[in-house]
């Protein structure tokens, strides 16, 4: 097939809808980075420095530094300050991805508020005995020993810390984004004289390898370091949230108290069936049953899975149930009739949370889609991941005139899909590469004939363009026999759980007097 004509130019409403989209993306990126522990979110972590910094790591991701002020007798001074700093970081992350903020005190509450007018300890002030804590984030390629050395820790102490940590934490498993809280302080005079250097020494290193575990390595009174850990017990609970969509599903679900992880899963499981830029209209509804993990103080700390959800779009109910296939042991989402919700091709082959709000476009029929338009446009910020909408083999990955950076995937004898205006391709992607449904093949851009970042998406049936949003595609498989019987039992169970689970946003619902589902 030849590429005689490029896609149409972008329409004004695409640009108008961008401010909202960028906001959503920023929020999502910040939370995503905090949750996944990859380096992706680091740039969005505010750079705050206060107090002195012995390593002078200017420009490094020193996300929090606070002078230590007071502690209870229950914990050594270094441990208290270090845990407080870590808990603050965790609480910040929790506030971003969850709600409500912790209602019960955490370790962080033991640290008194620092009066901003009080100047932090000056390292040159020999009279100062206040420990200093700083939280540093590992960046790609960093090692813990390198990080400690850079922070000014003596090499003998670095080795002692690593040796103490070894039984509790595999330092080879360190990932970009992992935070370490270092506490420095001066030794009592006698010890200081014995150890030689008069500068501050490393009192403790604290880390939180997972939501459930706190590890601290502390300096012993007689020198040397010892490590200990606190393991928290998390309880999995089932929650339910309901809401009316007046912008995007993402915004409405967030407002209703659905955790970020569950929203991402919700969008993903519906992306086979729903065009998140066009199918969502004001007044559409969602009802979602999901699990999440709470700490022993009743604070939600970790997202779980979506068990059951119903999107009601323009009056049409679209329920999905999570079900583990008894023979294949695969987890999937099925509609009420036991049909796998997956399709051969996705309707939204892009991160649905980053799309600009959909329903507003319907209000502007005059600015509606160009009749000659051969594809579907999804307005999203540059860099938004684009997915292969189905399994297949890459036919073209290169520059194609007005299409800019262009990828075409051949799915079977009949269907192909094409993706245009990319800012870049996924690493290693070229003609002949086999791709799976949902695999990232490139990133949104505005290359070629385009006036703003968007994905131009085409579906070809027997090399003729068809409407990607209305084409009747082969659906997933229908359960049968014993699998169907098992599904029906699970569906009945989930329906009962749904009825028995109070809404997490029930108070908000009453206040706004919104109809219950
Ligand atoms: Zn287009």
Determine the distance separating the centroid of ligand 1 and the alpha carbon of 355, expressed in angstroms: 15
User: Is the pLDDT score of 354 beyond 70?
Assistant: yes
Give the Å distance between the CA of 400 and the centre of ligand 1.
14
- Angle of the 260-270 helix axis to the 18-36 helix axis, nearest 10: 120
Query: What's the CA gap between 408 and 393, in Å, rounded?
Result: 9
CA of 455 to the centre of ligand 1 (A): 7
- The yes-or-no answer to whether 1-17+368-474 and 37-231 have a common fold is no
What is the percent of the chain with per-residue pLDDT over 70, rounded to a whole number? 68
Say which DSSP state 160 is in. H
**Which residues fall within 8 angstroms of residue 122, CB to CB, at 6 or more apart?**
52, 128
Q: Cα(402) to centroid of ligand 1, in Å?
A: 10
Give the pair of three-digit tokens for residue 400: 């194609």
Q: What percent of the chain has pLDDT over 90?
A: 44
Does residue 442 carry a pLDDT above 70?
yes
Q: What are 94's two structure tokens?
A: 């929790």
Residue whose C-alpha is closest to residue 92's, from 143, 131, 147, 41: 41
Measured between its terminal Cα atoms, the distance across the chain in Å is 49
Interval 269-281: pLDDT, tens:
999 999 988 888 8
CATH topology of domain 236-357+480-517: Nuclear Transport Factor 2; Chain: A, (3.10.450)
User: Which of the four pLDDT bands, split at 50, 70 and 90, describes residue 13?
Assistant: very low
Gap between the Cα atoms of 491 and 479, Å rounded:
13
| CA 367 – ligand 1 centroid, Å | 14
pLDDT confidence bin for 388, thresholds 50/70/90: very high
CA 271 to ligand 1 center in whole angstroms? 19
Distance 449 CA to ligand 1 centre (A): 10
Q: Residue 109 above 70 pLDDT? A: no
Is the pLDDT assigned to residue 42 strictly greater than 50? no
Give, for 254, the enclosing helix (H) or strand (E).
helix 249-255
Cis upstream peptide for 100 (omega within 30°): yes
The model's confidence at residue 357, banded by pLDDT at 50, 70 and 90, is low
Coil, strand or helix at 491: helix
The H or E element spanning position 97 is helix 77-97
Reported CATH class of domain 37-231: alpha beta
Give the single-character DSSP code of 343.
B
187-198 pLDDT, tens digit per residue, is 765 555 455 556
Reported residue count of the chain is 517
* 8 A C-beta contact, residue 197 and residue 251: no
Does residue 90 carry a pLDDT above 80?
Answer: no
* Distance between Cα 6 and ligand 1 center (Å): 9
- pLDDT at residue 374 in the model: 82
Ligand 1 centroid to Cα of residue 7, in Å, is 5
For residue 446, how far is its CA from the centre of ligand 1 (angstroms)? 11
Mean pLDDT, the chain, whole residue set = 74
CA of 10 to the centre of ligand 1 (A): 7
Q: How many CB atoms lie within 10 A of CB 11?
A: 20
CA of 227 to the centre of ligand 1 (A): 58
| 379: nearest Cα among 404, 406, 350 | 350
What is the whole-number distance in angstroms between the Cα of residue 11 and the centre of ligand 1? Answer: 9
User: Residues near 19 by Cβ (< 8 Å), separated by ≥ 6?
Assistant: none
Q: 456 CA distance to ligand 1 centroid (A)?
A: 4
pLDDT at 403 over 60: yes
For residues 83 and 80, what is the distance between their CA atoms, to the nearest angstrom? Answer: 5
Question: How far apart are the C-alpha atoms of 360 and 371, rounded to whole Å?
Answer: 19
Rounded-to-integer distance, Cα 159 and Cα 165, Å:
10
3-class DSSP state of 148? helix
Q: Cα(29) to centroid of ligand 1, in Å?
A: 26
**Top-confidence residue, 83 or 178:** 178
Angle at which helices 18-36 and 77-97 cross, to 10°: 140
Q: What is the pLDDT of residue 268?
A: 92
The pLDDT score that the predictor gives to residue 192 is 52
Centre of ligand 1 from the C-alpha of residue 435, in Å: 23
Q: What is the pLDDT of residue 137?
A: 86
CA-closest candidate to residue 77, choices 134, 132, 127, 123 = 132
User: What confidence tens digit (pLDDT) does each residue in 111-148 have?
Assistant: 333 333 334 444 444 445 577 888 888 888 888 889 89
In this prediction, residues 201-208 reach a mean pLDDT of 92
Domain residue limits, the chain: 1-17+368-474, 37-231, 236-357+480-517
CA of 247 to the centre of ligand 1 (A): 23
Q: Is the pLDDT higher at 9 or at 428?
A: 428
Helix (H/G/I), strand (E/B), else coil: 27: helix
The top-scoring range by mean pLDDT among 68-77, 107-116, 292-301, 369-378 is: 292-301
Assign 6 a pLDDT band (cuts: 50, 70, 90). very low
pLDDT, tens only, 465-511: 988 878 887 777 899 999 999 999 999 999 999 999 988 875 444 44
Q: Tell me what pLDDT residue 496 has.
A: 97
Query: Of 47-51, 284-288, 429-433, which range is least confident?
Result: 47-51
Gap from CA of 311 to ligand 1 centroid (Å): 27
d(CA 21, CA 182): 38
CA 503 to CA 245: how far, in whole Å? 16
Fold held by 1-17+368-474: Glucose Permease (Domain IIA) (2.70.70)
Cα–ligand 1 centroid distance for 373 (angstroms): 6
Cα(331) to centroid(ligand 1), Å: 35
User: How remote is the CA of residue 370 from the centroid of ligand 1, in Å?
Assistant: 9
- In angstroms, what is the span from residue 450 Cα to ligand 1's centroid? 8
Q: How far apart are CA 75 and CA 231, in angstroms?
A: 16
Kindly state the average pLDDT of the residues 176-180: 87
Band of residue 157 on the pLDDT scale cut at 50, 70, 90: very high
Q: How far is the CA of 317 from the centre of ligand 1 (A)?
A: 30
Structure tokens at 350: 């892009």
CA distance 180 to 134: 8
CA of 374 to the centre of ligand 1 (A): 7
What is the CA(419)–ligand 1 centre distance, in A?
A: 10
CA angle at residue 337 from 335 to 341, to 5 degrees? 30
Rounded average pLDDT over 396-403: 95
How far is residue 147's CA from residue 363's CA, in Å, rounded to a whole number?
Answer: 55
Q: Is the pLDDT confidence value at 220 over 70?
A: yes
Q: What's the mean pLDDT in 363-390? A: 75
| Ligand 1 centroid – CA 504 distance (Å) | 40
Query: 4 alpha carbon to ligand 1 midpoint, in Å?
Result: 15
């Amino acid at each position: 097939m030849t590429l005689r004509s490029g896609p149409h130019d972008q329409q004004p409403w695409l640009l108008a809808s961008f401010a909202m989209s960028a906001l959503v993306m920023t929020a999502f990126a910040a939370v995503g980075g905090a949750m996944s522990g990859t380096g992706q979110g680091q740039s969005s972590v505010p750079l705050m420095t206060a107090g002195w910094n012995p390593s002078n790591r200017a420009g490094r991701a020193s996300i929090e530094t606070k002078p230590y002020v007071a502690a209870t007798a229950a914990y050594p001074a270094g441990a208290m300050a270090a845990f407080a700093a870590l808990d603050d970081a965790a609480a910040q992350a929790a506030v971003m991805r969850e709600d409500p903020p912790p209602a019960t005190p955490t370790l962080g509450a033991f640290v008194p508020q620092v009066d901003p007018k009080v100047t932090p300890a000056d390292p040159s002030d020999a009279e100062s005995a206040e420990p200093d804590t700083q939280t540093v984030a590992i960046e790609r390629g960093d090692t813990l020993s390198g990080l400690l050395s850079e922070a000014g820790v003596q090499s003998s102490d670095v080795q002692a810390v690593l040796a103490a940590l070894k039984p509790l934490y595999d330092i080879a498993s360190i990932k970009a984004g992992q935070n370490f809280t270092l506490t420095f302080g001066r030794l009592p005079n006698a010890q200081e004289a014995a150890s030689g250097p008069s500068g501050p020494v490393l009192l403790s290193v604290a880390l939180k390898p997972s939501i459930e575990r706190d590890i601290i390595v502390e300096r012993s009174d007689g020198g040397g370091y010892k490590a200990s850990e606190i393991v928290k017990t998390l309880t999995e609970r089932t929650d339910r949230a309901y809401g009316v969509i007046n912008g995007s599903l993402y915004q409405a679900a967030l407002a209703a108290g659905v955790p970020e992880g569950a929203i991402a899963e919700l969008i993903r499981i519906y992306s086979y069936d729903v065009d998140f830029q066009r199918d969502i209209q004001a007044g559409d509804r969602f009802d979602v049953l999901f699990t999440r993990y709470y700490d022993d103080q009743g604070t939600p700390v970790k997202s779980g899975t979506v068990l059951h959800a119903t999107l009601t779009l323009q009056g049409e109910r679209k329920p999905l149930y999570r079900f583990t296939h008894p023979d294949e042991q695969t987890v999937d989402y099925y509609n009420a009739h036991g049909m796998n919700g997956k399709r051969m091709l996705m309707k939204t082959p892009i991160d649905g949370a980053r799309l600009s709000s959909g329903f507003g476009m319907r209000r502007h029929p005059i600015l509606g889609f160009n009749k000659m338009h051969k594809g579907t446009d999804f307005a999203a910020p540059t860099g938004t991941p684009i997915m292969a909408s189905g399994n297949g083999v890459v036919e073209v990955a290169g520059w194609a005139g007005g299409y800019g950076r262009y990828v075409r995937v051949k799915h079977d004898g009949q269907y192909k899909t094409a993706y245009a205006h990319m800012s870049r391709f996924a690493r290693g992607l070229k003609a002949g590469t086999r791709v799976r449904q949902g695999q990232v093949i490139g990133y949104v851009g505005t290359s070629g004939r385009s006036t703003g970042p968007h994905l131009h998406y085409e579906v070809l049936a027997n090399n003729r363009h068809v409407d990607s949003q209305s084409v009747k595609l082969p659906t997933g498989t229908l359960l049968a026999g014993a699998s169907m019987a098992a599904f029906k039992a699970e569906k009945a169970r989930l329906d009962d759980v749904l009825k028995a689970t109070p809404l997490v946003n029930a108070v908000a619902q009453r206040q706004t007097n919104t109809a219950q589902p």
